[in-house]
Structure 1
Amino acid sequence: MTRFGLLLGVLSAAIAALLITVAYSSGTSRWFAAAGAALLTGLVVGLLLGRRAIRTRAPHTNNQEILLSDAEIIDFSPKLLDATINEMREGLLVIDQEMRVVASNRAARSLFSNVEDPIGARRLTELTRNPAIYDAFLDGVRGKERAGVKVETYGGERRVFDLRVVPLQSANGKASHGAVGVFFDITRLERLELIRQEFLSNVSHELRTPLTSIIALAETLETGAIDNPEHNRRFLTIIQKNAARMHRLIDDILELSAIEAGNVKVSQEVVQLHPLVEDVVGSLSAVASTQAIKLHNLVPQEAKVFADPHRLVQMLTNLIDNAIKFNREGGVRRRYW
């Protein structure tokens, strides 16, 4: 294996690791294809380039060329390559034409057995009965590249992987020597996506409720209730409250987008706690009364804190609102400590 090939493999693996880190931090799945391509290109080049002597110039030898022997290269190259592969977070599995495992790293072995258990020379069907994995590698052996294969495992816990498989072909591209597969762990991204979907579902429901109320009251006013002084002001007050509720929900959505983009700005100042808590309690008193709950502000008049008043109101509103929802009949008290 040439030193150039080895370094190219290591460099490509490093680039891929960087791309994967960006993918995890941004939550964007499109990075996986680019990361997988860079990683596999480097590893395949490193594995397939022929082992031969390397001519290199040694320092302080008047440009005298030193010819490294095959034994020296064989001793140096695989150790560095193995160390690089084994430290990868992504699982790497290489199989031959007979669907037997010829190489793997720790991450891949942890998917199928104990990390230290050898799995070399075993058939793929001995490691897993997962049809998605087998079909992807079978296509790879037949010369077809596969990407975006979703794989789920249920060992101690459910884990989800994005599998990419590329064929190992000869220089002329006519003969297949096997296939290389890389397992990208996307469990965290899957969980975040589920949370996002649940959030959107809840927001849709929360927006629909006040909107339905506003439409119904507006139609009632339009059909003649607007001329009834007994009802028109009460209906308008309810419409205003529901509109304010929708406004808060939209603010929450925008806030979530800002948090994901890392654009949250926090301004700190000295805040009088008692009046701030009093405002929050006042805004939630009507909701609390529907469940026979009374809110009591026990924060001392002199209490102060150095904080962002807007964020503090958000936090207390969510906290008290949850306390109202999940509390038995009685009271909710806010104390300062």
Structure 2
Amino acid sequence: MYFTEDELSRYVDSYIQEGYFNQDGALYLFPVAKSTEITMINKTDWEPFAEATGTTVDELATTEGITEVAQRYYEWTDEQTPDVPDDGKAFYGRDSMSNYFIIGMKQMGKEIFQVKDGKMILNTDEDLIRRLWDNYYVPYMKGYFASLGKFRSDDVKTGDILAYTGSTSSAVYFPDTVEKENESYPIDYIVCDSPVMEGGENIKVQQGAGMAVTKSDEEHEYAASVFLKWFTQKNQNLRFVCESSYMPVLKEANSVDVLDSVIKENNIEVNQKVYDCFTTEMEDFDKTSFYTIGAFDNSYSARKILDYSLADKAKADKDAMDAAIVDGESREEALAQYLTDENFQNWYTEFCHSLECI
């Protein structure tokens, strides 16, 4: 054994537990840098909307709150051109739909993929899945949400949305300017926590990097373990994460005071967006539970279903609805065909079947 219980206790508990994925008491994966999700906002275009409508950033703390704010933004932007009906703008998008399902369900008290003894038990509670549908598919169809580029930061850059939820490690890609067809202007930003399902627990996704020591001779295994201990100590680990936009793995390193001290002592230049993500997460660290699904056969395929099933349907249905509107159908009539219990049931049945067949 190269790590004592006392040494392991210094690391964030959930980060260590993630490495025990074979139910045999052996630690297979050692955490070196982690990430979670945050919400980032185009502050420059947010401020006039917020001032005009009395909207606050605090309203974005819940998933349902984001949906309500997105509706308000659509209606406010629509009112800017009274001679052009139904031209409101989308407010929000999200990068990882699998995280939306996995963390949203966990926040509401269920594990969509519950792993026991290496076997996955599927939990697709219809009422809870319906809440996720109502807070993604419905606002997407109404034009409150959008997903156009490869990543939602791309959609912020083109001015198609104002805010998105994505990985903390993606903060450096949040644009400094909005670039539309005939217009370009600089923007500032706001960083806030990723949303929680209304009434749910403060649970955030746990993701990021780990390292494994391959079986060899005792000398090489020992040397590898010494390196991992050195690399993950607060001074080295914080210097690394400041460059890589990931979060440190020691409990004591997840502190704004410790972060500031290491930055000052080592004269580190930190990207301001990365620093703001760090401080946002660290300020709430002790009140947050981090979660990742356990390892099971075909887990990658299962995540892909979560990533694309609802997202692809929303995009395809929105494109079809928009085409019907261009052909002369009213927005209300076109939209009503999709916002039905039957449409949800059809998708839900197919969604469950796909997961059951993996």
Do Structure 1 and Structure 2 share a fold, with TM-score over 0.5? no
Higher strand share: 1
Higher helix share: 1
Q: TM-score, normalised by structure 2?
A: 0.21
Query: Higher RCO, 1 or 2 (CA under 8 Å, sep at least 6)?
Result: 2
Q: TM-score, normalised by structure 1?
A: 0.22
Larger Rg: 1
